[in-house]
Amino acid sequence: MSKKSEATANKNIKEITVKIEGKEWEEALNKAYEKASKKVKIDGFRQGHAPKELFLKKYGKSSLYMDAADLCLEQAYIKAFEDQKDVRIVAEPDIALSDVNDEGIEFKFTLTLRPEVKLGKYKGLGVKKEKVEVTKEEVEHAIGHMRERYAENVLKDGAVSNGDIVVIDFEGFKDGVAFEGGKAENYSLTIGSGTFIPGFEEQLIGMKSGEVKEINVTFPEDYHSEDLKGAPVVFKVTLHEVKEVKVPEINDEFFEDLGMEGIDTLEKLEAQVKENILTHKEADADNKYVDELLEAAAKNVTIDIPDVMVEEEKKRMIKQYEENLKMQGITLEQFYQFTNSDEQALKDQMHEEAVKRITFRLMLEEIATAENIKITEEQAEEEATKLAEKYQMKKEEFLKLFGGLDMVKYDLEMRAAMDALKSE
């Protein structure tokens, strides 16, 4: 037999006590005994064949409690939540074993409930979306970058100029003695890149292939090597090759290399680039507009967010952060080593953002309720079909990754709530 009682510790916490006793508890103890008896050996009997009375005399019924508790947990969980369909839980329930004895077992489920959300003004907040435009200079700059991507390094007969690429041998000397780390052969260096000590690259300008030259420079005062800080040195340099960067002309060959469908003139390329820049700017402006709207509406909302809810959000954020690091080939443990931090430090850093995310989410849910926003099964199915086609996936596969049709429905509700927020 099982019994259940409920209590509300405070407005966000609900406690449910479930007792398993009588025949149900006795059955769990018997199953626990069957499992435990197979693992023990009692003198005079083969392993797993000793009478139950001898087993209990030697080990006691209490030795079965934990295995029996595990067997009862699922049943207790079902019992605890059988009539909680209208209760909105915002975190994993905390489950404690509050009492256990020969007569029965008692579980205590502590539920964190969705906090009360009091909406303030959320329409007509005076937030305006930024108007965007694309300048001629921006288009030219973007096309310049496109040309640079197809640039070639071509051997040059003349003298070194700024922007050229040189291949050199060099060796550095301090007071006539070669110093460690100051030598390289066939080193490729772009003039003007600022890679070398100030003054080094500038003195290569004017040199020609095959030329040898001594270059005098002084190491910076903040150089990492104590021996070389602020020290005057001489580099013996041999120049092997000079290459200049040839940016392609805008012609048929360039358009072919670009491989952009329907783009075969400068005018068409400019129009396409302008459209791309405008799309990007519009997306940025829309994201900024949404953020500012949410921030403005959140100032008028009253919510007492439970700590456990914030902790759950931080866990999700850390998991997401870990996935992003993996894409860069870095583990979370390596990140902690590199930054001399730990999980708690990362959680502390994420605290403000976690609270903000929860606030925005609860606020939009409450707006959806206030606006009587209802998404039908048909609307959700239609959206799932559309998104599956967009991502070139089977609908079933998409729903599995997205979290099911309920998540599609929730996403549509949140978007509709956001539209309500945008209305004046």
235 and 378 co-located in one domain: no
168 domain-assigned:
yes
Instruction: Give residue 78's pLDDT.
Output: 87
pLDDT tens-digit map of 94-143:
899 989 998 989 999 988 888 999 999 999 898 999 999 999 999 999 99
Q: Are 166 and 188 in contact (CB under 8 A)?
A: yes
Q: Where are the alpha helices (DSSP H) in 183-259?
A: 252-258
Residue 321: burial class (beta carbons within 10 Å; 0-12, 13-18, 19+): middle
The domain of 156 spans 152-246
23 domain-assigned:
yes
Residue-averaged pLDDT of the chain = 90
Residues in the chain, how many?
424
321 domain-assigned:
yes
pLDDT tens-digit map of 245-273:
898 989 988 888 888 888 989 999 999 99
396 has a pLDDT exceeding 70: yes
Largest CA distance in the chain: 102
DSSP state of 197: S
Q: Are 387 and 398 in contact (CB under 8 A)?
A: yes
**Spatial separation of the C-alpha atoms in residues 423 and 373, rounded to whole Å:** 15
At 191, which CATH number? Answer: 3.10.50.40
pTM equals 0.70
pLDDT tens-digit map of 153-168:
999 989 999 999 999 9
139 domain-assigned:
no
Secondary structure class of 100 (helix, strand, coil): strand
**Spatial separation of the C-alpha atoms in residues 92 and 316, rounded to whole Å:** 13
20 domain-assigned:
yes
140 domain-assigned:
no
Number of domains in the chain: 3
DSSP state of 359: H
pLDDT band at 311 (very low <50, low <70, confident <90, very high): very high
The type of residue at 52 is: K
pLDDT tens-digit map of 231-251:
999 999 999 999 998 989 899
277 and 414 co-located in one domain: yes
107 domain-assigned:
yes
180 and 276 co-located in one domain: no
344 and 315 co-located in one domain: yes
